[in-house]
Amino acid sequence: MFCSQCGAPITDENALLCPSCGHALNAYSTPDDGKNHNPDKAARIAKRRRRKNNRVMAGLAICLILGLAAGAMVFFINASNDSVFHGRIEIQTINDGEYFELSGNFLSEEEIFSVSLTSDGAIAFALSDEISSNNVYYHWLLFDNDHVASTNTFMYTKYTGERLDKAEPVLYYIVPKPGEYDVSVDCYAEEGGEQVYNATYSGKVTYMGNITKNYTWRYRGNDYNAKVTFSYDEYRQFSHMNINGRAVNNYNRISSFVTYDDAAIIKLSNSLREAYGVNKNTTDQDFAQFVLSFVQLCFDYPSSSNFVGADMYQYGHDEYFAYPLETIFYGMGDCEDTSILCTALLMALGYSGGVVIVPGHATSAVGLYKYAPEPYSSTFFEIIQQTKGDITYYACETTIDSPQGIGLMNIYGYNGVPYSQYIGKIGYGFYIVDSDPLESPQDPIDDGFDTVLERI
């Protein structure tokens, strides 16, 4: 086996890195059979890379000195919350409502890359004629910034992008979708009948456009349909928001994730109301159950195992609280993510809601003035509820793939102890989204964040 990057022979079948050039040898590297590369050129490629890196570092040092002396200019766009995009951004219009954001070597003044949509709908990343005329072979790498973090559920295998070796100076992404893509290519020229590393070019392409999610599910013997359309930029704002604050230990903060006034949530809630029937009562338990069944049946639980948790698989973090639009974008989420989504939808439809936190689990919560449990067996289920004033809140289990009634939760709870035994204990209970939270001596310790969630 030979390294697909430099052509050096790989004698250790279990090697993770090429011993010559350091290239990562993973599942996305295209194995090389030695036909397109001469193994003896590895040392020359490594030497060229070192010379090139030395020149780059020297250039960066000069630029840093000049920048400090004259004042460097940096352009920003979409600088809201924690979402900041650095560097020069060029806009390339595709059609009404769709465009590319380009940076790096994709800037037109660089005259290196171009990007376009083909007639059959693929995205084409192409090198210029001038660049391609000087090279004969290419190692392409496309990194989808919205890809799930792991490619394996039995052990964490970090997604590192899609690699492709080819003689054509263009890379086609045949399943195009709005998103952020980092593209790089190693170019090889021909010298003396051999392919020799020449240069590397890279840049970012963000395909901005609308995303439509269509849903179909069956509820009480009838089929229903709903849909929501949102822009990639709407999703991006949330995905870049509060990046370092997604592991929530103070559950008073959960409320900030329940974005029930977000435009996409309002659109989806309206679609659910239309699917249910505009002439039906949309303020009672049955409609709330309808919304809950939608979340239960239309959103998956991320792939996971005893070795890779759901958040680690999807987002690359041990714990990651997602905004509703992130869960909609991926079509999946773990217990707190789908609970937050369900609560946002219920609140957008006029219900009072919250999130229930119990050991190792979370559910949505809905406030109802009248309640009658679905038929259930007390051998397997219990009713989880809490009352505030004249309204009672009921747990809504979201992480199952079949309809389960409002208020009902598995009697075996956490390690065989019913969840009801934990309600009201420190850190556990119903956290109701409320702008005027009730003081409680058993609330989790304040960590400096505004308390916008109430545990009853």
What pLDDT was estimated at residue 456? 52
SS3 content of the chain, % helix, strand, coil (to 5): 25, 30, 45
What does the pLDDT average to over 213-233? 97
Encoded tokens for 205:
């392409």
Residues 6+ apart with CB under 8 A from 71: none
Written in H, E and C, the secondary structure of 208-272 is: ECEEEEEEEEEECCEEEEEEEEEEHHHHHHHHCCCHHHCCCCCHHHHHHHCCCCCHHHHHHHHHH
What pLDDT was estimated at residue 306? 83
Cα 124 to Cα 21, 170, 173, 176, 198, distances in angstroms: 29, 7, 7, 10, 22
Rounded (10°) CA dihedral 84, 87, 93, 98: -20
Question: Which residues share a beta bridge with 126?
Answer: 114, 170
What does the pLDDT average to over 113-139? 95
Query: What is the chain's mean pLDDT, rounded?
Result: 81
Helix (H), strand (E) at residue 287: helix 285-298
What does the pLDDT average to over 66-85? 35
Lowest mean pLDDT among 26-35, 123-132, 193-202, 278-287: 26-35
What distance lies between CA 421 and its chain's CA centroid?
A: 35
What pLDDT was estimated at residue 42? 41
The one-character DSSP state at 446 is P
What distance lies between CA 28 and its chain's CA centroid?
A: 20
Predicted TM-score (pTM) of the model is 0.77
Is-contact 179 144, C-beta < 8 A? Answer: yes
Cα 148 to Cα 156, 247, 329, distances in angstroms: 11, 18, 12
Note the pLDDT tens digit of each residue in 14-50: 454 455 444 444 433 333 444 334 434 444 434 444 4
What pLDDT was estimated at residue 50? 43
What does the pLDDT average to over 11-15? 53
Residues 6+ apart with CB under 8 A from 157: 26, 27, 150, 151
Residue length, the chain? 456
Note the pLDDT tens digit of each residue in 413-437: 999 999 999 999 888 999 999 733 3
Q: Which of 248, 203, 205, 210 is nearest to 227 (CA)?
A: 210
Stronger pLDDT, 129 or 85, i.e. the higher one: 129
Burial class of residue 70, CB neighbours in 10 A (0-12, 13-18, 19+):
exposed
- Gyration radius from the chain CA atoms: 27
Q: Which of 393, 403, 341 is nearest to 366 (CA)?
A: 393
Note the pLDDT tens digit of each residue in 288-309: 999 999 999 999 999 988 889 9
What pLDDT was estimated at residue 440? 31
What pLDDT was estimated at residue 107? 97
Note the pLDDT tens digit of each residue in 311-366: 999 999 999 999 999 999 999 999 999 999 999 999 999 999 999 999 999 999 99
Q: Which of 191, 219, 229 is nearest to 275 (CA)?
A: 219
pLDDT of 241 > 80? The answer is yes
Give the confidence band of 250 by pLDDT, cuts at 50, 70, 90.
confident
- Distance, in Å, from the CA atom of 272 to the CA atom of 269, rounded to the nearest integer, reads 5
What distance lies between CA 24 and its chain's CA centroid?
A: 24
The one-character DSSP state at 35 is S
- Distance, in Å, from the CA atom of 444 to the CA atom of 451, rounded to the nearest integer, reads 10
Give the confidence band of 97 by pLDDT, cuts at 50, 70, 90.
confident
Extents of the domains making up the chain: 1-73, 76-208, 210-455
- The architecture (CATH level 2) of 76-208 comes to Sandwich (2.60)
| High-pLDDT (> 90) share of the chain, % | 64
What pLDDT was estimated at residue 184? 98
**Would you call 420 helix, strand, or coil by DSSP?**
helix
Cα 451 to Cα 83, 432, 446, distances in angstroms: 24, 11, 8
pLDDT of 56 > 60? The answer is no
- DSSP E strand boundaries for 278-421: 353-358, 361-368, 381-383, 385-388, 391-396, 408-410
Residues 6+ apart with CB under 8 A from 182: 141, 142, 143, 145, 161, 202, 203, 204
